[in-house]
Amino acid sequence: MLCPLTEIILENTVFVAFTGRELNITYKLEVPANQSSDTLTCFDPFHQQIYNCDINETAALPKTFEQSLELKDLKSSGEYSCRYKTAEVYWFLLVRGEYEKEENMKEK
């Protein structure tokens, strides 16, 4: 019999945001039964911590936590990541300037 694994699930793995703006990413964290509490931590492409969230322990049953990762004042494109215990997830974020948004709107 296989043991259930801790898993972080994102709604997508590629996101686009505008410079200086916010981005909310919904995630699910599936945690097996009888796990101690710990912290979900996320990092930018430069390995700087950008988010953390304390996750409570689970009792006799597995638990799914669904929350929103709130990123503010975005500046950097690249590969971002989140980690909780042994689970890890990666995603790519493209940060574009407002000027690019305006130019694309004019072309249409």
Examine residue 1 and state whether it is found in any structural domain, yes or no.
Answer: no
pTM: 0.83
Percent of the chain with pLDDT over 70: 86
Examine residue 77 and state whether it is found in any structural domain, yes or no.
Answer: yes
CATH number at residue 57: 2.60.40.10
Contact 79, 13 (CB under 8 A): no
CA distances from 95 to 16, 71, 86, 92 (A): 6, 12, 28, 10
Q: What is the pLDDT of residues 7-47, one digit of tens each?
A: 999 999 999 999 999 999 999 999 999 999 999 999 999 99
Examine residue 68 and state whether it is found in any structural domain, yes or no.
Answer: yes
Examine residue 53 and state whether it is found in any structural domain, yes or no.
Answer: yes
The total number of structural domains in the chain stands at: 1
Examine residue 65 and state whether it is found in any structural domain, yes or no.
Answer: yes
Give the residue numbers spanning the domain of 29: 7-107
